[in-house]
Chain A
């Protein structure tokens, strides 16, 4: 039996957004009708940035609204895409006259609704570019007609570097290009010891035996392709890291940005163990972790699990990553 801290489960998303915005009155504003979280002070004369998707992944996306990152976040119901109308209103709200980049995690519903919103916002003479985030290595089937890799924790990096580029005055194409560069280079692997539970439900989305680990989970509680034996923190980290290293083909001397991301109920001590093993392994391989983020940034309700994201870094990406940011979930 799992319990949740909720009022009416149907009111969870709007009430949570209200709580977020009340907690950050100088940073954020709420447009209730379409569930948009916007900057308190709208940016001027820059490319707008809108992202969004289903709820349940907090602090993504609304936690990344603010100077140096998103202009607008659009929230759907738990694990359900916002509607095209919501995204359209979000895109209009993000527009400051220089076009809008839409950052979209690769899921059928999200892609459909963002594409439609982009097409219709053309009626209002708003130019849009979609940056699709598809970093999940576990769903890399190589099938060109398939839905492709899912979008997961690399979304944070895409939102950060696009945000910084827009703040620097880059134009629509430039902001989209740097986001696509990150999206195409970044890869993520995830595992879970326990699935998340929908608010108001009493049972998790799937159950695992005590000696089982779900390897290659996404962020919507869907089952993964592989179930492997449970093992200790170092060996669990290796399960994530080995396929990433094989895929990215990193060489001695390369530099990466690493995200050790909790999926909802992994606690900080656990994440630090994963970070420790990651550093030891990459040090042995001669690969420098030049920048890193350890914490819960892209979650799946209360899933007990962790994801590891690696992004090869170059000077431009490092500069954009280091640029100032002021949002509820990321500030420096």
Chain B
């Protein structure tokens, strides 16, 4: 593993590793996330994850992506092909990640700005704020932590680890929230004590990004239950 500064491009294979990592991590967690959604939501998240990942696989097989943007495009187009609300929101979030850079891999700073753009897009469409028990509860602290760590001069993998930790902490905090927006708002108080599956999935995505940049180390999923 080589240390990468905020202004240096991430590794050539970061797009491939990121997409494969996101798919493996979310695929392995689909049952657990689906179970959370059954307890505090409409119950379709696990199915939607599996549908999205199958579409991503189809896109990869059909398009044979080479560049960072091509890999991320296969990812975001797959997510736009599923129902529910979280599928299209994740799709638009990944689209912003795809736009982090042109065909060359992004720098850590560009990735941070793309994550921030993704957060803004999700908020624009989902109209959610921090504390609403949605994806944003993991995404906002992750973006803040990543930007802060890069400004402090920490190298890319280290900064992404800080983002992952902040995202996990943010996702876990959703268990204490009664939903006001999004999937869990329909069940009201029944969402108390249950981690929001969208926020948990965001934390896993940030973890997969950290693993892709660091060159290994699958995200911990033991905290999701």
Is B truly associated with A?
A: yes
A binding-site residues for B, Cβ under 8 Å: 76-77, 80-81, 83-86, 88, 108-109, 112-113, 115-116, 119-120
Question: A86-B81, A88-B80 known; 10 other A-B pairs, CB under 8 Å?
Answer: A80-B83, A83-B82, A84-B81, A84-B88, A85-B77, A85-B80, A108-B85, A112-B125, A113-B88, A116-B88
Interface residues of B in 32-49 (CB under 8 A from A): none
Cβ–Cβ < 8 Å partners of A116 in chain B: 80, 88, 91-92, 125
In the complex, what distance in Å separates the CA atom of A76 from the CA atom of B85? Answer: 14
Cβ–Cβ < 8 Å partners of B89 in chain A: 112
Cβ–Cβ < 8 Å partners of A88 in chain B: 80
B binding-site residues for A, Cβ under 8 Å: 77, 80-85, 87-89, 91-92, 95, 125
Residue of B whose beta carbon sits closest to that of A77: B83
In the complex, what distance in Å separates the CA atom of A108 from the CA atom of B95? Answer: 21
In the complex, what distance in Å separates the CA atom of A217 from the CA atom of B81? Answer: 30
Residue of B whose beta carbon sits closest to that of A109: B85
**Known contacts A76-B83, A85-B81, A108-B85: A115-B91 contact under CB 8 Å:** no
Q: Majority SS of interface residues in chain A?
A: helix
Contact B125 A120 (CB under 8 A): no
Cβ–Cβ < 8 Å partners of A108 in chain B: 85
Contact B125 A115 (CB under 8 A): yes
In the complex, what distance in Å separates the CA atom of A115 from the CA atom of B81? Answer: 14
A81 CB contact (under 8 Å) in B80, B81, B83: B83
Cβ–Cβ < 8 Å partners of A83 in chain B: 80-83, 87-88
In the complex, what distance in Å separates the CA atom of A88 from the CA atom of B73? Answer: 15
Contact A84 B85 (CB under 8 A): no
**Known contacts A109-B85, A116-B91: A84-B80 contact under CB 8 Å:** yes
Chain B nearest Cβ from A189, distance in angstroms: 26
In the complex, what distance in Å separates the CA atom of A192 from the CA atom of B70? Answer: 51
Contact A120 B81 (CB under 8 A): no
In the complex, what distance in Å separates the CA atom of A109 from the CA atom of B81? Answer: 13
Cβ–Cβ < 8 Å partners of B85 in chain A: 108-109, 112
Cβ–Cβ < 8 Å partners of A115 in chain B: 125
Cβ–Cβ < 8 Å partners of B88 in chain A: 83-84, 112-113, 116
In the complex, what distance in Å separates the CA atom of A32 from the CA atom of B84? Answer: 21
Chain B nearest Cβ from A157, distance in angstroms: 28
Residue of A whose beta carbon sits closest to that of B87: A83
